[in-house]
Amino acid sequence: LVKENDYSLEELREDQGFHRVSQAHGSPELIQCIVFELLSLSLYELLKLNEFEGIRMDFIRRFAIQLLNALAFLRKLRIIHSDIKPENVLLKSKSKTGTCVCKVGIKLIDFGTSMHTHENGFDYIQSRYYRAPEVILGHPYSTPIDMWSTGCVLAELFLGLHYLQETISRNSLAL
C-alpha cells in the first residue's frame, strides 16, 4: 500500500524496465498498485518470428542454463511451477536482430498453478505438450515434472515444433 503523496507513480518509467501506471484505483488515501518488470517476447513468440525453424544452439544453451538455475532455486524452495512452456518464458531484452537476440536473458513467469511439493493433489496440471509421464499416469509427482517440461521446451526450441505434437494420453507414452 502506498499513500497517495508519498510516491510519484510517474517516476516509474519504461526505460527503467517498468510498466507505467496511468490510473490507480482505490480510496483517496491509499492506492494499491502492482508494478511488473517490462519483459519482451516469449520463447513461443521468438519461435514464431523464426517461422518455427528452431533457434541457434548457443541461445538454447543459454536458455537451458538459466532455466536449470530457476528450477534449482524452485526446488530449494520446494515449489513445483507445473506450467513450464515457451509462453511462460520471457526474454529480458528487447534488442533483436532477426533471430539473434542480443544480451539474452530470460525470466520464468506465471506461477498461477504453482504449488509446494507437499500440496501434490491437483489432477489437471501442466500443458498437454509438456506434461510429464507421472502426471499422465496419475502417479505422485514433485519438482522433476518441471524438468520434463523444460526438456520438452528445449527440444521444441531446437526443432522449431512441439516435441510431442499429438494430444498426450496414456497411449502416447509409447512415443
User: What is the set of active-site residues?
Assistant: 83
SS (H, E, C) 117-165: HHHCCCCCCCCHHHCCHHHHCCCCCCCHHHHHHHHHHHHHHHHCCCCCC
- Return the bridge partners of 97, or none: 100
Residues 6+ apart with CB under 8 A from 128: 167, 168
* DSSP E strand stretches across 12-158: 30-31, 79-80, 89-91, 96-97, 100-101, 106-108, 115-116
Pairing of strands 100-101, 79-80: unpaired
Question: What whole-number distance in Å separates Cα of residue 146 and Cα of residue 86?
Answer: 13
